Chains A and B, each alone.
Chain A
Amino acid sequence: MRGIVKTSGSLKVLAGIDLTVARGECVVLSSSRARLQPGERSAGLQPWPDPDARSTLLRIAATLVAPSSGSIEIDGADAHTGLLAARKRIAFADGWIAPGDELFASEYLRFAAGPMTKAASEAAVRRSGVDPGAPLSSLNAGQRRTLAAACALASGKDVVLLDEPFTDASRSLLVEWIEEIARAGSAVIVASNCATLDARGFALADGRLVSVPGLNARTSAGAAP
C-alpha cells in the first residue's frame, strides 16, 4: 500500500498509509485506544475511531473500496487497475456471509473458498470450531464470523485480510491457522486487538499507521512500516 488516503466528507479517515507486507508475514492492526501508552498519547497520538479506519483500510486493500488517492500493489501489479487478477490473490473476511441460509457450513466453505473435496471442506470448518453439518441459519453471529474467516484461511490465496475474525471460542484455533498460512507464504493482515498473534503490530492514529512494538510479547519490536 502506498500513500493510501481516504476522505469521507471533511473527515480524513486515512491520511497517507504506507505499508508493505512480505510473503510469509503477518501484520496486526490494533486499536490505538487500547494500545497507546499514556506517554504516546501526550506525544500527540490521539485516540480516534480507528476500528472504522482499520475496516476501511482492509476494504481498500481488498479492492472493495477505492481509495481517494494512493495505490495497492500485489507483487508490483496495481490492484485497482487489474481488479480481477488482483482479486484472484486476495481473500477477505469481515464476518459477511453470502445470503443463503439453507446451505450447510461445509457446503458454504466449499463454495466460498474455491474447489475442494467434501472431506477437505468439512475438515476446514471443523478446524475453525464450527459444526460442518450446521445450516447457516443456525449459526450465531460469532460462528458466522468464524466461518467467514475460515473460508479466507482455507482459500490458499496469497493475500489474506481478516477484519476482527476472532471470537472467544475460535481465537486459539484461528491464531494457529493464521500463523500456519503465514509460514506457508501468504501475506496476512489482521485487524484485531488479539494479543496472541506472532505479528508486526500497528495502530492507526489520526489516519496514520503507528508502529506498536509493545503489541504483544511475540511482536517483532520496532519494525518499520
Chain B
Amino acid sequence: MTGTTTTGAMVRRDLTLAARRPGLLCALGLHAALTAVFLQAWGSAGIVPVLPGSNLYEQLATVQRALVIVMAPWMAARIAGIETRGDVARLSLLVNAPVSTILRARLIAVLVWIALFVCAGLPSVVLAQQMSTATPPEVLRGQLLLATVGCAAALLTLVAGRWTDNGIARWAIATTAMTMAAFMVGRV
C-alpha cells in the first residue's frame, strides 16, 4: 500500500470503529440535546443564570466551549485508545506503514469526529443567532473557535498517549490542561 492508501485505509477503519460505538454517537446526541435544552431553559426566567452583558448566542457559545473541553478529549481517548503502544508497533508491521502514518490517520479520524460534534450543535446555534443580536460572521467565528478548542483538546489527548495507555488518564490530562488554558485565556 502507498502512504496515502494506507492513511486512507487507517482513517476508514478508525471512523468505522468509532461509528459502531454507541458512546461516540451518544456524544453527538448529547451535544445536540444539551444545546437545545439550554435554549429551551434560557427562555424560562431563573433556570439559567444570565451572564451580564451577554446575549443568548454568546452564552450558548460559552456552554459549548465548556462542553467541548470535556467531550473532545473523551472522544479522542475513545477513538485513539483502542491500541496500546505495543499494538501500534504491530499495526505498523501489519499495514506496512511507519508509526507516524498511523498516528496521522488517527488524528484525522479524531478531527472528523470533532467536526461532527460541532455540527451536532449547529441547529441550536442557528436558532440562538436568530433569537439574539449576533451576526452570522460572529457565529461563524465562534464555531470555528469551538472547533479549534476541540481539536486542541483532542491533540493533547493524543500527545498524552505517549505517556500512558490509560484512556481515563489521557482524558484527565487533556481536560485539565485545556480547562487551565481556557481560564488563562479568559474564554470561560
* B82 interfacial contact with A, CB 8 Å: yes
Asked whether B16 is an interface residue with its Cβ less than 8 Å from the other chain, the reply is yes
Q: Type the 1/0 row for B1-43, where 1 means its CB is closer than 8 Å to any CB of A.
A: 1000100010011001100110000000000000000000000
| Size of the chain A interface, CB-CB below 8 angstroms | 20
Q: Is the CB of B17 within 8 A of A84?
A: no
Please determine whether B82 and A100 come into contact, CB atoms closer than 8 angstroms.
yes
Q: Is the CB of A99 within 8 A of B89?
A: no
- Shortest B28–chain A CB gap in Å is 17
With a CB–CB cut-off of 8 A, which chain A residues contact B93? Answer: 62-64, 87, 90, 92
- Report the minimum CB–CB distance from A203 to chain B (whole Å): 26
Distance in angstroms between the alpha carbons of A88 and B13 in the assembled complex? 20
Contact partners of A43 in chain B: CB under 8 A = none
- The answer, among A64, A103, A114, A115, for a CB contact under 8 Å with B17, is A103
Q: How far is the CA of A126 from the CA of B43 in the complex (A)?
A: 59
- Closest A residue, CB atoms, query B87: A99
Q: Which residues of chain A have C-beta atoms less than 8 A from B21's C-beta?
A: 102
Shortest beta-carbon distance from A45 to chain B in Å: 33
User: In the bound complex, how far is the Cα of B96 from the Cα of A114, in angstroms?
Assistant: 10
Determine whether the beta carbon of B87 is less than 8 Å from that of A102: no
Q: How far is the CA of A151 from the CA of B93 in the complex (A)?
A: 13
Q: Which residues of B40-94 are within 8 A (CB) of A? A: 82-83, 87, 89-91, 93-94
A-B CB contacts (within 8 Å), total count: 44
| Main SS class of interface, A | loop
Q: How far is A4 from B148 in the complex, measured between Cα atoms in Å?
A: 51
B95 within 8 A of A: yes
Interface hits, B113-171 → A, CB 8 Å: none
**Chain B: minimal CB distance from A42 (Å):** 41
Known contacts A99-B82, A102-B20, A115-B1: does B96 contact A64 (CB below 8 Å)? no
Q: How large is the interface on B (under 10, 10 to 19, 20 to 34, 35 or more residues)?
A: 20 to 34
Instruction: State the main secondary structure of chain B at its contact with A.
Output: helix
**B90: A residues at CB distance < 8 A:** 64, 96, 98
- CB contacts (< 8 Å) of B1 on chain A: these are 114-115
Known: A64-B89, A64-B93, A87-B93. A102 touches B17 (CB 8 A): yes
Tell me which residues from 131 to 164 in chain A have a Cβ below 8 Å from any Cβ of chain B.
151
A104-134: CB near B (< 8 Å → 1, else 0) gives 0001000110110000000000000000000
Would A99 and B83 be within 8 Å (CB), given that A111-B13, A112-B94 are in contact? yes
Q: Which of B5, B16, B20, B96 is in CB contact (< 8 Å) with A115?
A: B5
B101 to chain A, nearest CB (A): 10
- Give the distance in Å from the alpha carbon of A92 to the alpha carbon of B96 in the complex: 11
Q: Are A87 and B13 in contact (CB under 8 A)?
A: no
Interface residues of A in 46-93 (CB under 8 A from B): 62-64, 84, 87-88, 90, 92
A96 — which chain B residues lie within 8 A by C-beta?
Answer: 90
Measured in the bound complex, the distance between the Cα atoms of B93 and A96 in whole Å is: 12
In the complex, the answer to whether B98 meets A98 with C-beta atoms within 8 Å is: no
- In the bound assembly, the distance between CA atoms of A100 and B89 in angstroms comes to 15
Separation of A83 and B9 alpha carbons in the complex (Å): 21
* Cβ–Cβ < 8 Å partners of B12 in chain A: 111
Cβ of A98 and Cβ of B83 under 8 Å apart?
yes
Contact A100 B94 (CB under 8 A): no
Question: Among A90, A100, A112, A114, which residue has the most Cβ atoms of chain B within 10 A?
Answer: A100
Residue of A nearest to B13 (CB): A111
Q: When the two chains form their complex, are residues A87 and B5 in contact, meaning their CB atoms are under 8 A apart?
A: no
A sample of 18 cross-chain residue pairs with beta-carbon separation below 8 angstroms, ordered by A number, consists of: A62-B93, A64-B89, A64-B90, A84-B96, A92-B93, A96-B90, A98-B83, A98-B91, A98-B94, A100-B13, A102-B17, A103-B13, A103-B16, A107-B16, A111-B12, A112-B95, A114-B1, A115-B5
